[in-house]
Amino acid sequence: MKIHLKIWRQKDRQTKGAFKDYTLEDVSKDMSFLEMLDTLNIKLIKSGERPVEFDHDCREGICGQCGVMINGIAHGPLKHTTTCQLHMRSFEDGDTIYVEPFKAAAFPIVRDLKVNRSSLDHIIASGGYVSVDTGQAPEANSIPVTHEQAEAAFDAAACIGCGACVASCKNSSAALFTSAKISQLAQLPQGDKETSKRVVKMVYQMEEEGFGHCSFTEACQVECPEDISVLNIARMNYEYNKARLLKK
Amino acid sequence: MALTGLFLSFFLIIHLAGNLQLLLPADEAQLQYNSYSRLLGGNIFVKLVAYVLYASIILHTIDAIYLGIKSKRANGASYSRDKRGRASKWYARNMMALGIIIFVFLVIHFKDFWYSYKFGELPLDINGNKDLYTLVVVAFQELWYVILYVIAIVALGYHLLHGVFSAHRTLGLYHPLYSKIIKVLGIIFAVVMTFGYILIPVYIYLTHEL
Amino acid sequence: MSITIKANIPEGPLAEKWNNYKAKAKLVSPNNRKKLDVIMVGTGLAGASAAASLGEMGYNVKSFCFQDSARRAHSVAAQGGVNAAKNYKNDGDSVYRMFHDTLKGGDFRSREANTYRLAECSASLIDQAVAQGVPFGREYGGYLRNRSFGGVQVSRTFYARGQTGQQLLLGSYQALLRQQNAGKVKLYTRHEMLDLVMVDGKARGIIARNLDTGEIERHSAHAVVLATGGFGKIYYLSTLAMGCNASAIWRAHKKGAYMANPSWTQIHPTSLPQSGEHQSKLTLMSESLRNDGRIWVPNDPKETRLPGDIPEEDRDYYLERKYPAFGNLAPRDIASRAAKEQIDLGKGVGALKNAVYLDFSRAIKEYGQEVIAERYGNLFTMYKKITGIDAYTEPMKISPAAHFSMGGLWVDYDLQTSLPGLFAIGEANFSDHGANRLGANSLLQACVDGYFILPYTLQNYLADEIRVPKIDVNHKAFEETEQKVRQQLEGFLKSKGNKTAEEFHKELGKELYDKCGLLRTKAGLQKAIENIQNLRKEFTENLLVPGDIEEVNSELEKAGRVSDYMELAELMCIDALRREESCGAHFRAEHQTEEGEAKRDDENYCYSAAWEWTGNPSSPVLNKEPLVFETVKPTVRSYK
């Protein structure tokens, strides 16, 4: 099928970007969206143009490295699907597709569709872990965790850190990302001991990185590849308020 | 935001309950409403609550402005093509716009009724109370005024539809079941408030011919 | 000059070796540790866990990855689980049993002592991961749940739905970031190692390119650890991430580190089949699906009915038929080869007739769709996203795909390569899996190397380095190495041919898959070597790379990786050609039993091939590390 593309091209953070038009003639329905971009890039390289830079790695929806705005939606039209798992069968012959990078002040553009999402790492680094050194762990079955607890913790832990929640948020908030980690660890006996310390540090870091606030439009969950629940944000707020109120 | 919002929502219930007296038969309503207004004006406890109310309105507004700026700063460059709206409700995304409508309305509302009552010269009714009732009834004879009122209340309704439930989330209600219950209660609340507040001017407009 | 190499295996009976080692290993006192720097390349399970553990001990770690975040390393994609000899199921498991399964699974081509150590440390890993908050599957009472996996008869696999790798990696990534926060680890994301720097015979640093700016940087340390994973991506179509590469280990190899058994690549039996020319990767479906899924093909190659309409008597459940004891859970190499056999007989299914069915209808009937959804829900969803088919109602179509590199840098018992001060851990090394890796052992090996082995063995090395001051990056060795790196990059850009790196990669991959994949023949390998040499020649003359060095340039990154693949591919073929036997994943058509099973030659090939770089990719030197089995006697590997 024939596809018209309007792709955001931007040399670097300082330079102004703009859409550029491309047309691909032989796009197969079985191609993934990124394979379609691969095809475009080979064409561009051969015609002496600079290929489109975009982020991707595992191409099976788990590493979280890919992610662009496709027709104004993070990861494109399918819900709960990463860009790499989106296939061209989701589009029609003759469609025009707009491709833009995730935009947020905390995600500076590197080039074209590539953005720097280190701010998410910084949030985790500020406290998104259990403080246990190698060697300190007790026998695994000495900490029983019920099936329901483990499943609930997993639901939150499934986050792939792609940043679609931030891109989909009208306030560019990283609340879903941050709360997923807080909520996962708060639901497990191993992690709960540090919850109040953790939540204060991580929320502070989230603000430091320049993310916006959460106003519960719930768009993040709808576009999240892993369908992480917005209730995690409520849980983060609960833990945060509790930590603040009970502060000694 | 959540605390002030919830307090303001709570106030809406009291305010509506009081104002429903306007729907009584005209003579009865006039005397009862005016004496009720006077009662509110004179009670020290009510006065305290009133100050909290003013403070809540101001804080809610300041907070909204602060969050608006923060959001703008966090967004950075805007999207050239933006279809993110499909994932959320329009009113949830436009709380600020709805809030501005409500704020403008409040200014008019305060000026016409609250200011006139507190600081203006009003005729007295037969009981010697300031005749706020007549002021209200006269005001609602103007169609444009009723329309303005209805628009503002609809805006308020949508503001509440998102606001009440969102406030509970901000406070940390994360239990899936209770969260759902609050969501339903929030919807009921918003609907009741909207229709309740719309009922008064429309009823007065339709029933009082001068 | 070929030599016989030694692996420095400690004295004592098998079960005592690691304890003996630890008892005698040299230590560095806490106040000296902060004077020592370690470079860790790679932030997958091995790299992140090692960097975190070393940071906790007090060393200064510089951690590098080419991805934009440490959490993206390809360990994240492992689905099925991680093995540990906890014997929570009371079904007869033990360290010895696990060691034996792994050794046998590897067709008796791994180093006994290393394999035993892997099993021995497995239990601690589960403890560690649980303490980090990894949400493993649990029984209703709260205790850990297990399932069984290919090649074993006990249930020793721990799992977190179908995303075990992700959860384990997040555990070690978080531990890594915790050390970053504590100032003990410095992270360099979007940095690619382009060469190893040797100073006076010891590994002392690396040259890396900042992929965001294109800047070429020098980094020094007292020791360098490579945790850069496998190179299955050399086949182009593989289950690996697009960025997976052999560059770090290959460039270390060209500096003198031996490369061991490079041709031993595991071809995974349960991947999604290729659907067209445009395809960039093959998605893996976890092997755990074989617990409940039954593999079959139609009896008749001309079968046209839909799978659901084909009655039982017209189906061939070939794994159950050929290997009744293990059935659908036969080890990967055997399952892959059996699938290839069916496909070659023309019984493949799907439009390109390149797949076999993996059928869940019986399991769904037996346990209900809900139970199956809880076990494999995300895999079924993924399958639907990619193929558009609902596997609850129609069998999946699967086919073999290149997956795991059993080969890698040769390391001794200390995980040290043949270059002093250069260590290799995780999939980047070769040691534990022999000629075939058992399912759920790769996460294990990566973690065990990183958490529990390297911290001891590296310390043993660093104990002699405490008097060495910080390494100066202005040393002429750094200067020269950087110069070479620059020259190579400039060479790619100057070539100005008309084929992209990706196109070369595809061609190379196809060549390798055809002739050095599931089935290898002497003639095929010889032909492959010739073709690869020609392709390599063409690569130097006809490569097209746009852009410059000092900027973001994905094509330049690819060119470097493909250039290394071009040389490594030939070594793989040479390795496969030289090994005149069949073992595990290495199946030479000339060496098979009458029933078509792999036929080992223990008399002549009971060794690990450790290849040495000579400067000419076509004439490497073969050094041999004889495999000595003190405890187990190699037998014919049978899963019947």
Residue range C123-139, pLDDT digits in tens? 999 999 999 999 999 99
CB contact under 8 A, A114 and C275: no
Return the SS3 of C328.
Answer: helix
B82 in any annotated domain: no
Q: What is the CATH number of the domain that holds A43?
A: 3.10.20.30
- Chain A residues with beta carbon closer than 8 angstroms to that of C178: 125, 129, 131
Helix axes C17-24, C112-132, angle to 10 degrees: 70
Catalytic site residue C332? Answer: yes
Residue B209 has pLDDT above 70, yes or no: no
First and final CA of chain B: distance in angstroms? 43
Does A241 lie in the same domain as A121?
yes
Where does the pLDDT of residue C638 fall: very low under 50, low under 70, confident under 90, or very high at 90 and above? confident
Q: Which of A82, A111, A140 is the last residue of a domain?
A: A111
Beta pairing partners, C405:
C265
Where does the pLDDT of residue C276 fall: very low under 50, low under 70, confident under 90, or very high at 90 and above? confident
- pLDDT at position C382 is 85
Q: Which residue of A has its CA nearest to B179?
A: A231
Where does the pLDDT of residue C214 fall: very low under 50, low under 70, confident under 90, or very high at 90 and above? very high
Range C242-269 average pLDDT: 97
Q: What DSSP string runs through B171-185?
A: HT---HHHHHHHHHH
- pLDDT at position C148 is 87
Q: Which residue has the higher pLDDT, C47 or B119?
A: C47
Strand boundaries in C239-372, DSSP class E: 259-260, 265-271, 294-298, 315-316, 356-359
Range C518-523 average pLDDT: 96
Residue C431 has pLDDT above 90, yes or no: no
Residue range A46-86, pLDDT digits in tens? 999 999 999 999 999 999 999 999 999 999 999 999 999 99
Where does the pLDDT of residue C594 fall: very low under 50, low under 70, confident under 90, or very high at 90 and above? confident
- Chain A residues with beta carbon closer than 8 angstroms to that of C275: 30
Domain containing A73 equals 3-111
Range A83-111 average pLDDT: 97
Range C285-295 average pLDDT: 89
B87 in any annotated domain: no
Choosing from C218, C332, C579, C588, the catalytic residue is C332
Q: Positive or negative, the Cα torsion across A93, A95, A101, A105?
A: negative
Q: Which of A59, A90, A111 is the last residue of a domain?
A: A111
What span, in angstroms and rounded, lies between the C-alpha atoms of C570 and C383?
Answer: 35
What span, in angstroms and rounded, lies between the C-alpha atoms of B201 and B203?
Answer: 5
Residue C374 has pLDDT above 90, yes or no: no
Residue range C573-588, pLDDT digits in tens? 999 999 999 999 999 9
Which of C174, C189, C242 is opposite residue A118, by nearest beta carbon?
A: C189
Residue range C7-47, pLDDT digits in tens? 999 999 999 999 999 999 999 999 999 999 999 999 999 99
CB atoms closer than 10 angstroms to residue C532 = 29
Does A55 lie in the same domain as A131?
no
Range A235-248 average pLDDT: 94
- Architecture in CATH for domain C270-400: Alpha-Beta Complex (3.90)
Residue C502 has pLDDT above 90, yes or no: yes
Contact present, C241 and C247 (Cβ < 8 Å): no
Domain containing B34 equals 2-74+92-207
The tally of CA atoms less than 13 A away on the side-chain side of residue C543 is: 28
Helix axes B143-171, B176-207, angle to 10 degrees: 170
- Least confident range of B17-26, C234-243, C525-534: B17-26
Instruction: Work out the mean pLDDT of chain C and round it to a whole number.
Output: 95
Where does the pLDDT of residue A21 fall: very low under 50, low under 70, confident under 90, or very high at 90 and above? very high
Contact exists between B and C (3 or more beta carbon pairs < 8 Å): no
Q: Could you give the percent of chain C with pLDDT greater than 90?
A: 90
Return the partners of chain B (3 or more C-beta pairs < 8 Å).
Answer: A
Q: Which residue of B has its CA nearest to A164?
A: B84
Helices (H) and strands (E) in chain B, counts: 9, 0
Instruction: Please name the amino acid found at residue C148.
Output: S
Q: What is the number of domains present in chain A?
A: 2
- pLDDT at position B194 is 97
In total, chain C counts a number of residues equal to: 640
Residue C447, phi then psi, degrees to nearest 5: -65, -45
- The C-alpha of B46 sits at a distance from chain A's nearest C-alpha, in angstroms, of 28
Residue A248 has pLDDT above 80, yes or no: no
Residue C367 has pLDDT above 80, yes or no: yes
Does A241 lie in the same domain as A122?
yes
Range B112-117 average pLDDT: 89
Within 156-175 of B, beta carbons closer than 8 Å to A belong to: 162, 165-166, 168-174
Does A237 lie in the same domain as A122?
yes
Range C495-522 average pLDDT: 96
Residue range A148-184, pLDDT digits in tens? 999 999 999 999 999 999 999 999 999 999 999 999 9
- The C-alpha of A210 sits at a distance from chain C's nearest C-alpha, in angstroms, of 19
What span, in angstroms and rounded, lies between the C-alpha atoms of C13 and B57?
Answer: 79
Structure tokens at C293: 């899924």
- Chain A residues with beta carbon closer than 8 angstroms to that of C163: 62, 158
Contact present, C380 and C364 (Cβ < 8 Å): no
B149 in any annotated domain: yes
What span, in angstroms and rounded, lies between the C-alpha atoms of C116 and A6?
Answer: 57
Q: Tell me if C270-400 shares its fold with C483-605.
A: no
pTM for the predicted model, two decimal places: 0.96
Residue C236 has pLDDT above 80, yes or no: yes
Instruction: Please name the amino acid found at residue C363.
Output: A
Residue C620 has pLDDT above 70, yes or no: yes
Give exposure, C537-570, as e/b (b: 16+ Cβ within 10 Å): eebeeebbbbbebebbbbbbbbbbbbbbbbbbbb
CB contact under 8 A, A132 and C86: no
The domain locations on chain C are 270-400, 483-605
- Chain B residues with beta carbon closer than 8 angstroms to that of A206: none
Residue range B88-104, pLDDT digits in tens? 999 999 999 999 999 99
CATH 3.10.20.30 fits C483-605, yes or no: no
Does A235 lie in the same domain as A124?
yes
- Least confident range of A35-44, B160-169, C272-281, C619-628: C272-281
What span, in angstroms and rounded, lies between the C-alpha atoms of C615 and C607?
Answer: 24
B80 in any annotated domain: no
Residue B210 has pLDDT above 60, yes or no: no
Residue range A176-219, pLDDT digits in tens? 999 999 999 999 999 999 999 999 999 999 999 999 999 999 99
What span, in angstroms and rounded, lies between the C-alpha atoms of B66 and B62?
Answer: 6
Residue showing tokens 């003013």: B54
Range C208-235 average pLDDT: 98
Where does the pLDDT of residue C507 fall: very low under 50, low under 70, confident under 90, or very high at 90 and above? very high
CB contact under 8 A, C142 and A144: yes
Range C388-413 average pLDDT: 95
Range B170-195 average pLDDT: 97
Q: What is the CATH number of the domain that holds A137?
A: 1.10.1060
Interface membership of C373 toward A (CB under 8 Å)? no
Which of B80, B87, B171 is opposite residue A241, by nearest beta carbon?
A: B171
Beta pairing partners, A88:
none
| Residue C325, burial from CB neighbour count under 10 angstroms (0-12, 13-18, 19+) | exposed
CB contact under 8 A, A100 and B81: yes
Q: What is the number of domains present in chain B?
A: 1
- Chain A residues with beta carbon closer than 8 angstroms to that of B172: 234-235, 237-242
Where does the pLDDT of residue C288 fall: very low under 50, low under 70, confident under 90, or very high at 90 and above? confident
In total, chain A counts a number of residues equal to: 248
Show Cβ contacts of residue C25 under 8 Å, excluding neighbours closer than 6 positions.
C456, C457, C459, C460
- Chain B residues with beta carbon closer than 8 angstroms to that of A231: 174, 176, 179
Contact present, C539 and C562 (Cβ < 8 Å): yes
Range C350-355 average pLDDT: 91
Q: Could you give the percent of chain C with pLDDT greater than 70?
A: 100
In total, chain B counts a number of residues equal to: 210
Does A197 lie in the same domain as A146?
yes
Does A179 lie in the same domain as A122?
yes
